[in-house]
Amino acid sequence: MLVINPSDTPIPQLHQFLIGSIGPRPICFASTISKDGKPNLAPFSFFNVFSANPPILAFAPNNSGRTGAPKDTLLNVLEVPQVVINVVSNSIVEKMNVAAAPWEKGISEFEKAGLTPLNSDLIAPFRVAESPVQIECEVMEVKHFGEGGGAGNMVICKVLRLHINEDILNAEGKIDQHKIDLVGRLGASWYTYSDLFELGQPMSPTIGYDQLPENVRNNNVLTANEVGKMAALAEWPSPETIEEAKTMAFESRDQTASQFISEGKISLALAIYLI
Q: What is the pLDDT of residue 253?
A: 92
Is 162 within the bounds of a domain?
A: yes
Q: What is the pLDDT of residue 59?
A: 98
Q: What is the pLDDT of residue 202?
A: 87
Give this prediction's pTM: 0.89
- The residue out of 157, 192, 227 marking a domain boundary is 192
Q: In which domain, by residue range, is 131 found? A: 6-192
| 34, 137: one domain | yes
| 162, 244: one domain | no
Q: What is the pLDDT of residue 198?
A: 84
Cα angle 31, 57, 132 (rounded to 5 degrees) comes to 55
Q: What is the pLDDT of residue 65?
A: 81
Question: Residues in the chain with pLDDT < 70?
Answer: none
- The residue out of 163, 192, 221 marking a domain boundary is 192
Is 126 within the bounds of a domain?
A: yes
Is 216 within the bounds of a domain?
A: yes
Q: What is the pLDDT of residue 148?
A: 87
Is 201 within the bounds of a domain?
A: no
Q: What is the pLDDT of residue 136?
A: 98
Q: Of 84, 224, 89, which Cα lies nearest the Cα of 162?
A: 84
Report how far apart, in Å, the C-alpha atoms of 22 and of each of 9, 187, 188, 225 are. 18, 8, 12, 20
If one counts the domains in the chain, the total is: 2
> Long-range contacts: 225-230, Cβ < 8 Å, 24+?
226/257, 226/258, 226/261, 226/269, 229/261, 229/266, 229/269, 230/261, 230/266, 230/269, 230/270
Is 203 within the bounds of a domain?
A: no
| 159, 215: one domain | no
Is 199 within the bounds of a domain?
A: no
List of residues 6+ apart from 4 with CB closer than 8 A:
14, 17
Cβ burial of 263 (10 Å; 0-12, 13-18, 19+) is: exposed
| 94, 157: one domain | yes
| 72, 150: one domain | yes
